[in-house]
Structure 1
Amino acid sequence: MSQPSTSPRTGGVVATLALAGVTAAVMQTLVTPLLPELPRILDTSPSNAAWVITATLLVAGCCVPIIGRLGDMLGKRRMLLACSVPLMAGSVVCALSSSVVPMIVGRGLQGVGMGMIPLGIALLRDVVPAERLSSSIALVSASMGIGGGIGLPVAAAVAQYSSWRALFWGSAVLAALVAVMIYLLVPQAPPTAKGQRFDFVGAVGLAVGLVSLLLAVSKGADWGWSSTTTLTLFALAAVTLIAWGFFEWRTREPLVDLRTTARPRVLLTNLASILIGFGMYASMLVVPQLLQYPEATGFGLGQSMLAAGLWMLPGGLMMMVVSPLGGMLTNARGPKTTLISGALVLATGYLASLLLAGTAVGLMAALMIMNSGVALAYGAMPALIMSAVPVGETAAANGFNALMRSLGTSVGAAVVGVVLAQMTTTAGGHTFTSESGFRTALIIGCVLALASAAIAALIPHTHTAAPAPQQALPGGPGAGTDTAPGAGTDAGPLRSADVGPGDASTGADNDRVRSGS
């Protein structure tokens, strides 16, 4: 595949894919301001209303890796357009809902569209010139956090001053806009795994295993961690995922190539992704509650939902500011350095939150630091993944990495939820999470951010191999060498030059890809 040429359309492509990521993130945070009102709105119990959140999580967890693989096989632009359909349809269904079942169905459809982000990141490798690839990947990857940071205060304002249905009608319009922009501005790159067989057995096995695991993690606190239902789901997840792993290892064209995933560069990046996801979500659970808890508790700041969202808004905007800087750091020092830096900045933000939690300004500053670290880390992860996988697995590998981040946020929500529920205090006849409970959650986030930095430090460097026996690629010095597909060494910039045709294969052929092994 030849080097992508610089084009005036490149800015439009990056803007479109970033907007797609922001849209997906907004859909996730859309119902947060509505959570206290959902039982009344939908005429149901609080436990049933919680499925409005859980449904999106479960469907996204199952669909993201599958959509990534289909993107490699059928074309990433085609699958981006396909993902926009359930985003629009799910928003419309939610806007028209008056009971819990259609609302859950609509939220599930929105979960299908979450595959847009790994697809968009993988597409950048095919269509963006080398000099803009690192910064483009960083921006699109950070768009999930940007959308969450911006979407929360906007959703709170709309919910407070308008009809809750306007939130979903607005998201439907936004999804339609993204679809039009993809159709008009994003070019179609040739499928990198065209003609390969789709692994239906692997898809079903992964879906069953992930649904069991994510359901047990997300609902275990409500059902009881030692309840028969929770323990059965954990057992089913363990058995199914182990069997799935054996099947995928022996399959010639698997849904997820575990040989590639087991490479130290990919494996350690995914492990760090889980901890970064945990660290990011811990702050998103703790900071809003500290801002909104009554001042009578002695540590709460008594802010309204809208005011709390506005205090958190600069944190989301910092991700937009920092992500291009992360791309520059990746170009200068490599994605490994960027990931380590992001984890350390995240840990610094948690330390700052422990010191500055007494004021809204202090929490805002701490969250800005934490989100800066998340932006650096999230921008580096896809670069590390793409530097170690064949071209034909780019979208699938990014989808699996996105799944690892989601797993981290799910586990983070469960662990932090248990901490906040167990460490309580009573005041005025009401039970609240104690100040020590919030501080414990922040300390856990800090420790895990430091652990992710330690794991990232173990990621092996890429090694520049001898030139491949193929025609030199245009694009300047170094193009056409058999370095890791899509990347240079860890001391230099991420590159969009691809390796030879054999790298698009899977299974045993992957052993011929020399980078990242």
Structure 2
Amino acid sequence: MTIESREIRVDDSTSARPGGIVGVLAVAGIVAALMQTLVVPLIGELPRLLHTSAANASWVVTATLLAAAVTTPVSGRLGDLYGKRRVLLACTVPLVAGSVLCAVAGSLPPMIVGRGLQGMGMGLVPLGISALRDLLPPERLGGAIALMSSSMGIGGALGLPVAAAVAEHASWRVLFWSSAALSLLITVLIWALVPATPARTAGRFDAVGAVGLGVGLVSLLLAVSKGADWGWASGTTLGLFAVALVVLLAWGWWELRSDDPLVDLRVTARRQVLLTNAASVVVGFSMYAQSLIVPQLLQLPEATGYGLGRSMLAAGLWMAPAGLVMMAVSPVGARLSAARGPKTTLCAGSLVIALGYGSSTVLMGTAWGLMIVTCVCGLGVGLAYGAMPALIMGAVPRSETASANSFNTLMRSIGTSVSAAVVGVVLAQMTVRMGGHELPSEDGFRTGMLIGCGVALAAAAIALALPGRPARRTGDASVPEEAPAGSSA
């Protein structure tokens, strides 16, 4: 018996107000994404605050990345099995607990545990996107999905200046107490305003598949994110890559033979799903590259000849408009998807990102110029991120929307991890010596920007290869008609 044949049919009607549902879920996604950049202003101070070394302190960032990657596919599958509202509420629990634990932490171990718990909340984004399909009328769906999907970028862009302002003018612990309060508020709002969502499929949770995927992903992402510190040719890095390869191959073998897989690999192999996930990796890469480069350019001393000498807070404020642009472009992307199909929106967004990177060749010398670069890139990211869930949900059965969206979110996360590694290598290799310190050179920053441009063009090429099915013409809905079971599209 196939997964599709066991789909549970329910009444999709809801008496809840669509505006309230969209608002709550979008804010939940933004809060979850805020956790990714929450500690950036503290990175330089963490060794002193936690009485540890700089190398050990970097685990405060890595723990969040790993926890999000491992738990996002799990939460998606649980949402399909037991109802998305129930799992949305469950995702807020580690957000609150992790924030409180970080707020009271006085050493490295509890801080790492707390940051890992915060990362577990990232499942709110794909679960929220999938819940929208269950709860909203078709004419409201396109714009809501675009906004919810963009919340990952919006939260990351807005989190940096907010966190920098709090860290500069108050105790660092206020950051985590504030995130705990926001997470608790989100819990209450979801409980009060988001209706119950039905279980969309029958079956059992694939615990073996969850463990296998978790081990494989942790090995892969640890090797990618720590390879530069450990050495790319070191035994530890190569060993982790080998473990990831073996475990993920074994995981794929298990999933193909399971009656209730964590991720239905036959569905992910459909052309539309496969190419959308591939595009997600490269768009995630190109989205994150400028987020690594621009803050450094803004903060490096003016004595370098290319640094702009801004504080962390000022740098965050110069980058904040990009998050607002992502938010503003979401309804535009939804209308474009409704008129031309989400394939067109994804391709257009990728080309706009490439344009933003390309413009850096003439705009990199001023803060205003860098703000324009980030805003243009943000506009493209908003278009591209909004189109991806529509493409995914147009090619998978309703019984697998949460699982498929969670896997797509995972692909974006892998793209950002690879981006951090590649940009880090480029900037580490192309340096200048100044005042006794090695600093990334101007050529290094320009090379990183050109890599981002090339990767964005690759995303556009992948988008062009997607099957060109038109979107449903129902109001603003940008989710195509559901693919029949067994479709290759």
**Is the shorter-chain TM-score for this pair beyond 0.5, marking a shared fold?**
yes
Secondary structure of 1:426's match? strand
For the pair 1:236 / 2:220, whether they are aligned, the reply is: no
The answer on whether the counterparts of 1:462 and 1:490 sit within 8 Å (CA) in structure 2 is no
Task: Say whether residues 1:278 and 2:285 are aligned partners.
Answer: yes
After superposition, the Cα gap between the structure-2 partners of 1:273 and 1:202, relative to the gap in structure 1 and judged at 3 Å, is same
Structure 2 residue 36 is the aligned partner of structure 1 residue 52: no
2:472 corresponding residue in structure 1: 488
Aligned to 1:110: 118
1:483 aligns with none
SS of the residue corresponding to residue 301 of structure 1 reads: coil
Rounded Cα–Cα distance in structure 2 between residues aligned with 1:496 and 1:186 = 24
Identify if the C-alpha distance between structure 1 residues 462 and 497 changes in structure 2 by more than 3 Å, giving closer, same or farther.
closer
1:198, distance to aligned residue in structure 2 (A): 1.0
Task: Choose the corresponding residue for 2:44, options 24, 36, 39.
Answer: 36
Amino acid at match of 1:266: V
TM-score by length of 1: 0.91
Q: Determine which of 425, 435, 440 is the counterpart of 2:432.
A: 425
**SS of aligned partner of 2:433:** strand
Aligned to 1:127: 135
The 1:495–1:51 alpha-carbon spacing in structure 2 relative to 1, beyond 3 Å, is: closer
Q: Amino acid of the residue matched to residue 61 of structure 1?
A: A
Contact 1:72 1:191 in 2 (8 A): yes
Alpha-carbon distance in 2 for matches of 1:262, 1:383: 17
**1:120: Cα distance to partner?**
0.2
SS, match of residue 378 in structure 2: helix
Contact 1:118/1:402 (<8 A) preserved: yes
Contact persistence 2:391–2:479 (CA under 8 A)? no
2:150 aligns to what?
142
Unaligned runs of 5+ residues in structure 1 are: 464-486, 504-509
Alignment-derived partner of residue 467 in structure 1: none
User: CA offset at residue 289 of structure 1?
Assistant: 0.3
> Match of 2:296?
289
Q: Alpha carbon RMSD of aligned pairs, Å?
A: 1.8
The answer on whether the counterparts of 1:462 and 1:489 sit within 8 Å (CA) in structure 2 is no
Provide the secondary structure at the position in 1 that maps to 2:439. strand
Q: Is 2:89 the counterpart of 1:81?
A: yes
| Cα displacement (A) at 1:462 | 3.2
Which 10-residue stretch deviates more, 324-333 or 336-345? 324-333
- The match for 1:454 is 461
Q: Which amino acid aligns with 2:435?
A: G
Q: Aligned to 2:438, what secondary structure does the other structure show? A: strand
Equivalent residue of 2:310, what SS?
Answer: coil
Q: 1:75 to 1:5 in 2, by over 3 A?
A: closer
Q: Give the Å deviation of 1:353.
A: 1.6
The two structures have a TM-score, normalised by structure 2, of 0.96
- Tell me the equivalent position of 1:507: none
- Letter of the 2:449 counterpart: L
1:346-405 CA distances to partner (integer Å, 9 max, x unpaired)? 000001122100000000011000011001000000000000001111000000000000
Determine helix, strand or coil for the equivalent of 2:396: coil
Number of aligned residues: 481
- Residue 72 of structure 1 aligns with an amino acid whose one-letter code is D
1:440 Cα deviation after fit? 0.3
Separation in structure 2 between the aligned mates of residue 339 and residue 352 of structure 1, nearest angstrom? 20
| CA shift digits 1:471-504 (9 cap, x unpaired) | xxxxxxxxxxxxxxxx6389994358778xxx7x
Q: 2 CA distance for matches of 1:128 and 1:496?
A: 15
Following the alignment from structure 1 to structure 2, what is the Cα–Cα distance between the partners of residues 236 and 6?
47
Give, as a single letter, the amino acid of the residue that structure 1 aligns with 2:216: G
8 Å CA contact 1:133, 1:496 repeated in 2: no
Unaligned segments of structure 2, at least 5 residues: 1-8
Q: Is the contact made by 1:88 and 1:173 (CA closer than 8 Å) also made in structure 2?
A: yes
Range with bigger deviation, 163-172 or 244-253? 244-253
Letter in 1 for 2:139: E
1 CA distance for matches of 2:172 and 2:361? 35
